[in-house]
Structure 1
Amino acid sequence: MNISEEERNAVYKTIFSRRDVRSDFIKETIPEDVLKRVLTAAHHAPSVGFMQPWDFIVINDNETKQRIKNGFDQANSASKAMFTDHKQRQYQKFKLEGILEAPIGICVTCDRERNGPVVLGKTIKPEMDLYSAVCAVQNLWLAARAENLGVGWVSIIEDNILRDALDIPEKIEIIAYLCIGYVTHFKDKPELESAGWLPRRTVDKAIHYNKWSAEKI
């Protein structure tokens, strides 16, 4: 099945216009069929040995979201103290989550024991199941963008907060907590790029041929 030029362009447009959304969510319910399409796209991510190690916990309960928000606030205070001077002042200006504002949260997990102790493709690199679950996150993110839904990845939170709030067993790895919902708009550039936190590297600096080149760094 070939991809048409129009379809190809739509894929690239979705990739380049994807954003990490924190502050622009609106209180509009996500229809069940839209959410199901997004999660189905995530479920069709590539996975090592076709083990499909991911699960998706959908959170729409305000009390649960508040517990998670409290955990973020604690972790954010500790994280802020790790930066100094100008970077700390910049850090304090950023809104780094939309836990309460987004209509739903999605916690993506990884069951590393799914399909037994020996999995095709994990025999030498056992961490491939974790990478597979991250691929599911990326599929989810791009599918959400194609549905005009914003997504924000909340990484400033301790796993034990999510484990306690969502009853996640110890043997299950937590990959991501995502805020998802419709937004007022999508920014032209990633927020941290626009704010001057770090510049975008050119793609040429990221491409090496045949061997690692220290000159690229």
Structure 2
Amino acid sequence: MQNRFDQAGIDSVYRVIAERRDVRHFVPGAVDEAMLMRLLTAAHQAPSVGLMQPWRFIRIQSQALRERIYALVDEERQFTAAALGERNEEFMRLKVEGIRECGEVLVAALMDQREKHVFGRRTLPEMDLASVACAIQNMWLASRAEGLGMGWVSLFDPIKLAALLSMPDGAKPVAIICLGHVAGFYRKPMLELEGWAVRGELTDMVYTDRWQNRNEA
């Protein structure tokens, strides 16, 4: 087939997708600057609706600021536990971030003044968020290929984090990204290993011609 990668290249793509993990456990060590730039370049090569490129990345280098971000995450962790009801103690035993241990912290955000970008967003304005998610996924896959751990942390109040980072009106933080060295990668997603949830079956999520209920024959 024309334009097809060779088999080794194809295998590498599927392997990195299968072995990508949301990492929470890091070992000490700085992230190489050239590697970080490669990961950010991979993120910046993501597709975006109308080519608006709505992603912005804030690199956190102040240790004091990192601690304040950790405090925001821990605050939301407590609120989430309370909202989970009977599973709150189980949730509190989970490690949900690696902000203090990882080598590099980034905050991925949506740009401000997004309302002027109408192409592809007139009926689906949330496509700007989907574009940022694509950029984060690019970084995730590239970091796994580089042997670097990456975690996406979403436990935070976006208004408080935006204020902490002096974001302009209309900009919105989407993810706290932890990058760093790891002793090894989880053989399965951590939440699956911890018994929190299991991956659903693909056959339950692919329909033909119309929406289908699981109990249909």
- In the alignment, which residue of structure 2 is the partner of 1:66? 67
Counterpart amino acid of 1:89? E
Root-mean-square deviation (CA, aligned residues, Å) is 1.6
Structure 1 residue 148: Cα displacement: 0.9
Structure 1's consecutive aligned runs of 4 or more residues displaced over 3 angstroms after TM superposition are none
Q: Does the CA contact (< 8 Å) of 2:52 and 2:117 recur in 1?
A: no
Q: Deviations over 1:17-37 (max 9, x none)?
A: 111111x21121111110011
Structure 1 residue 134: Cα displacement: 1.1
| Distance of 1:11 and 1:50 partners within structure 2 | 24
| Distance of 1:20 and 1:141 partners within structure 2 | 8
SS at match of 1:130: helix
May I ask how many residue pairs the two structures share in their alignment? 214
- In the alignment, which residue of structure 1 is the partner of 2:108? 108
- Structure 1 counterpart of 2:19, from 17, 34, 55: 17
- In the alignment, which residue of structure 1 is the partner of 2:32? 31
| Distance of 2:176 and 2:127 partners within structure 1 | 20
Q: TM-score, normalised by structure 1?
A: 0.93
What residue ranges of structure 1 are gaps of 5+ in the alignment?
none
Counterpart amino acid of 1:191? M
Structure 1 residue 119: Cα displacement: 3.0
SS at match of 1:122: coil
Q: Does the CA contact (< 8 Å) of 2:81 and 2:91 recur in 1?
A: yes
Q: Deviations over 1:72-104 (max 9, x none)?
A: 11111111111233x222112101111111111
| Distance of 2:66 and 2:147 partners within structure 1 | 23
What residue ranges of structure 2 are gaps of 5+ in the alignment?
none
The 5 A counterparts of 1:68-147 are 68-85=69-86, 87-113=87-113, 117-147=116-146
| Distance of 2:112 and 2:208 partners within structure 1 | 34
SS at match of 2:197: coil
Structure 1 residue 118: Cα displacement: 4.2
Structure 1 residue 39: Cα displacement: 0.4
Counterpart amino acid of 2:140? W
SS at match of 1:133: helix
- In the alignment, which residue of structure 1 is the partner of 2:47? 46
Structure 1 residue 107: Cα displacement: 0.8
Distance 1:119 1:216, change over 3 A: farther
SS at match of 1:215: coil
The 5 A counterparts of 1:140-179 are 140-179=139-178
Counterpart amino acid of 2:163? D
